[in-house]
Amino acid sequence: MAKLMEKASWQRIKEDDDFTWKEFYQTCGFHLEIGVNPLSRLGFGTTVWGAALGLCQYFEKERIQFSDKKVIELGAGTGIVSILVALLGGDVTITDKPEILKQIERNVSFNVAPSFKHRVKVRSLRWGRDHHLFPSDYDYILGSDIVTFHQDVPFILESLLHLSNEKTIVYFASTMYYNQQSISEGHLTLSQYFETELVCRYEAKDVNVYKMFRKL
């Protein structure tokens, strides 16, 4: 049974407007340093959730290489998944709501050396509204714990259909116990437009990892 990775350690931060502590993770040979603030008014995006760890661990298990691949993450939160992908050689666009981009940029600065910063872009993307500002030639689209609420699914789908092409690989991870019925229905809706496969499950944390391709 696959066991979800856990943080290696953590450190409290004093007098910081963005973060209350840093969490440290080991994956794919990298030491990741992620600032978090679970009590922030910004909500879900300031915490590392199990689905994000599930994606990171899946990439390690499958030894997925992102070198010279064009990648976009939707609802990136702390940015941990995209940061790992950038370290693995990807050209990454990290997206979330405008109000959380500063925190993502700081987490990028903790982990990505200045000589590699040109491979990372941090941009606002509100599902169903801003996707037309982005191209449709991504090799990978990533998302963790974004198919959680029923009302978001049509907007996520609209953005996915614009951002993807017939060669795009989509990896979504979901923590099922948050809202299992809504998440299951959301993935069922996506499966009408995307070939969908459950490629990994972390039973103890109830995290599913899905791989998807556009239907022809």
- CATH code where residue 67 lies: 3.40.50.150
pLDDT in tens, 160-178: 999 999 999 999 999 998 8
Cβ neighbours around 99 below 10 Å, total: 13
Residue 2 resides in a domain: no
- Predicted confidence band of residue 152 (pLDDT cuts 50, 70, 90): very high
Query: Among candidates 201, 207, 199, 197, which has minimal Cα distance to 175?
Result: 207
Question: The sheet that has 207-214: what strands, in order across it?
Answer: 120-124, 91-96, 70-74, 140-144, 169-175, 207-214, 194-202
Residue 133 resides in a domain: yes
Q: Is the pLDDT at 1 greater than 80, yes or no? A: no
| Count of domains for the chain | 1
Q: Is the pLDDT at 206 greater than 80, yes or no? A: yes
Please provide the average confidence, as pLDDT, over all residues in the chain: 94
Residue 105 resides in a domain: yes
Please give the residue range of the domain that contains residue 175. Answer: 9-214
pLDDT in tens, 87-109: 999 999 999 999 999 999 999 99
The mean pLDDT value for 60-86 works out to 96
